Amino acid sequence: MLVTALLACTGNVPVDTEETDLPAALVFTIASLNAESGGADPVKVAEDTVAPITGESLFAFEEVENDAAARLFVDAAEDDGQDFQYRMGTTGYEDRLVLAWDDTRFALVELTALDDINVGGTVRAPLVGHLQERASGVEFLFVVNHLWRTDDAKRHQQATLLNTWAAAQTLPIVTMGDFNFDWKADGSSHDEGYDNLIANDVFRWVRPPDPLVRTECSATYDSVLDFAFVGGGAKDWGASSAILRQEDDYCRGARASNYSDHRPITATFTIPQ
């Protein structure tokens, strides 16, 4: 599989493993949002949807129109004491992917793009951040995804390719984003791509608590499109997820005020030290 390296450091960030005062467990939260480039006002998305999210150390953004929008979102994600850095993918035209991290807590060892999973070369190559938590030295892969919406066969192929790639990795994996798997809120059906991704127990969904609510404000898709999955050693971590902005008027406000038409999601992980 073709992998393009976008940024590489000379080595891992030094960590003093002799310290005895490390916490009993490493806990961190990741957020994800489809920012609806072209259909939403980035300023309003940053103010209304991103800024109210607190406590996250990593953020996956999908459908980011340009670097100016990315900067708005990343600045809005910062809480007091955080220093968010970001990298934007080079594929997807005006629907780019952005991986953002709190540099005071995590170091980006390497960033790669999975070009083969950009099937046909006209959508988005997943972004893979090899991250190291500075205090503990824990390393893992954080993957930002947005799979094809309008072509079922290509979306299913992308999910299979992600499964194959993940099965060959040695580090724990967390992947979040808009997978377009159309998991019906009532559990009655879902897209075949979901089955392709989790095949052979390569990935597991960090499922939000029931009752599920749709993650896109759509009259057509009463379903969950945005997911958090874990693979490799991350399947042994404690994990929970949540769909945010579940208030009844969120979708009405999104359409009336040019906010994103997706609800953000978060996933929180606990790693025993």
Q: Which residues constitute the domain of residue 217?
A: 23-272
Using CB atoms within 10 Å of the CB of residue 55, give its burial: 0 to 12 exposed, 13 to 18 middle, 19+ buried. Answer: exposed
What are the distances in angstroms from CA 49 to CA 45, 200, 244, 247? 5, 36, 9, 13
> What are all long-range contacts of 195-201, with beta carbons under 8 Å and residues at least 24 apart?
196/156, 196/159, 196/160, 196/163, 197/159, 197/160, 197/162, 197/163, 197/229, 198/163, 198/229, 199/160, 199/163, 200/163, 200/167, 201/235
Three-class DSSP category at 180? strand
- CATH code for the domain in which residue 203 is found: 3.60.10.10
- Give me the pLDDT at residue 193, please: 98
Asked, for residue 70, whether it belongs to a domain, the answer is: yes
Asked, for residue 9, whether it belongs to a domain, the answer is: no
Asked, for residue 18, whether it belongs to a domain, the answer is: no
Q: Within a 10 A sphere around the Cβ of 243, how many other Cβ atoms?
A: 18
Asked, for residue 46, whether it belongs to a domain, the answer is: yes
Asked, for residue 230, whether it belongs to a domain, the answer is: yes
Query: Whole-model pTM?
Result: 0.91
Residues 6 or more apart whose CB falls under 8 angstroms from that of 5 comprise 110, 111, 112
Q: What is the pLDDT of residues 92-121, one digit of tens each?
A: 999 999 999 999 999 999 999 999 999 999
What 3 state SS string does 93-107 have?
CCCEEEEEEECCCEE
Using CB atoms within 10 Å of the CB of residue 143, give its burial: 0 to 12 exposed, 13 to 18 middle, 19+ buried. Answer: buried
Asked, for residue 249, whether it belongs to a domain, the answer is: yes
- Give me the pLDDT at residue 5, please: 52
| Domains identified in the chain, total number | 1
Asked, for residue 7, whether it belongs to a domain, the answer is: no
- pLDDT tens over the chain, length 273 residues: 545 555 443 333 333 334 445 557 899 999 999 999 988 999 999 999 999 999 999 999 999 999 999 999 999 999 999 999 999 999 999 999 999 999 999 999 999 999 999 999 999 999 999 999 999 999 999 999 999 999 999 999 999 999 999 999 999 999 999 999 999 988 899 999 999 999 999 999 999 999 999 999 877 778 999 999 999 999 999 999 999 999 878 887 666 568 888 999 999 999 987
Asked, for residue 238, whether it belongs to a domain, the answer is: yes
